[in-house]
Structure 1
Amino acid sequence: MRYTIRPVVEADWPLAKELRLAALQDPVAPIAFLETYDQVASQPDEFWQGRTATAAEGSTVRQFIGASPSGRWLGTVTVLVEPPGFEDYFGFVVPTAQTHLVGVYVRPEARGTGLAAALFDAALTWSWSLPAPSPQLARLYVHTANTRAQAMYKKAGFTPTGATVEAPTGTEYEYAISRADAAVGAP
């Protein structure tokens, strides 16, 4: 399957809304995302415009999408920049510059095509290009019951760190990849 990987721009908000709502209807959405379809489906356009503008800003957050040749969005990943001293969603203070991948979703028809790997490559390339203090680690969290996502993250080079957190839906594992390890796996 062919696709184009690119960062979102503010004008993409209707497509970003459609893909996020599709993601929140996926069977694993209750353990994969920290919000529900019901929480965001009725949000006004301004909510989606602001959310997409934030994801497009490119210094503290960046969202990447994978689109088919027809322009249909097939997948996404968002990268959050966590500078030293940043307190994350779970209340942990990060010791060094790193990035945090969230909102990972690939439509069922695009799974197993290499799209997830291409999205991760874009996210990590962007992460490693950030100015000083340049992140040396990218991480994400995955629910203990989300074995499909765990396999996808491992295939992309992420490994469990041994850290866990309690999310509203249960225990999540932290997975990470270092800049050095990402370079080793690069072609």
Structure 2
Amino acid sequence: MKSYNATTYAILGILTTECKSGYAIKQLIDESLNHFWKISYGKIYPSLKLIAQDELAEVCTSSGHGKPDSNEYYLTSKGLEVLKDWLEKPIEQLPTERNEVLLKLFFGRYQDREKKVLHLENDKQELEERYQTYISIEQAIINHKDNDEDSLYWLCTLDYGKRTTKAAIDWCDFTLNKFL
């Protein structure tokens, strides 16, 4: 079976939801996947073209009143099998993190105490904002009754984000106390 890149598999997965157009896919990525899996806007349409070309999805063109035509993509049975096959394979990489705050702190001996504190306080504030975003997303998922089959999985991935963000906030507090 042909192998695809992670973006293609992610888009195949998105096509199992109500998101069928490139625009709707981009919105879902921005609102949910982007918190743990980055996909640039410029990769969506080439991936959709490949998915259609390889008959993993059918393309239907719809025209709206006064709006330009738009393509909608519907997963084929072949596309679903490719997605399922990928989901069954072992994880190839452990998550890695690039964290500029940690990098600067690692060399913190050469940095002013005020700058260290400022970086940590800013990081903590951004993490707290992210945590509140996760709470909002969680409420939206809980209140959205149409996706009961997917909700459990979405909430599990969201829980990971909440827990790691909460741990990072706690780490900021602990570390700030060393410099205050």
* TM-score, normalization by structure 2: 0.29
The structure with the largest helix share of the pair is 2
The structure with the largest strand share of the pair is 1
